[in-house]
Amino acid sequence: MSLVAEPMESRWRLLGVGLLVFVVQAAAAYFCWLWVVLGALSVAGCGDYCNYELVGSAVQTQRWVGVVSLIVAFIALVLLAFRGRQAWWAPAIGLGIILVTTICTTVAVSVGTQRPDALGALMSLMR
């Protein structure tokens, strides 16, 4: 092999590993968004006591955090890989952000669809 081809192969290998982690991030973004949307369907049975704004905001937050983290991770992945640096950590950080957002938005949907009397009963049990 020539000295010129070797760095390009290394860059493509770095990009390949990063793309693998990026695919995992994209799948997680979709399934986490789906998880929050399915949780938000519980508003159908809650009537007047639901906080519809909180549930709607949680779903929108999950979607946009997923989209923005995918875009930023892909740009960082390509830039880092073609500069010859490790690039797998960019989508890994995006994956972590998506998972933390999913936990927060799932809690928000749960609180938004919680009956007020059930919340009071739960708090009395914890005393």
Mean pLDDT of 86-104: 94
The residue segments making up the domain with residue 56 are 5-126
Query: How much is the pLDDT for 85?
Result: 84
Query: How much is the pLDDT for 44?
Result: 80
pLDDT exceeding 90 applies to what percent of the chain?
A: 49
Task: Show Cβ contacts of residue 81 under 8 Å, excluding neighbours closer than 6 positions.
Answer: 11, 12, 14, 15, 18, 87
Instruction: Indicate the DSSP class of residue 50.
Output: -
Reply yes or no on whether the pLDDT at 64 is more than 90. yes
Reply yes or no on whether the pLDDT at 93 is more than 50. yes
In 41-127, where does DSSP find H-type helix?
52-82, 89-112, 116-126
Q: 46: which 2 tokens?
A: 């809650």
Tell me how many domains the chain contains: 1
Mean pLDDT of 12-41: 90
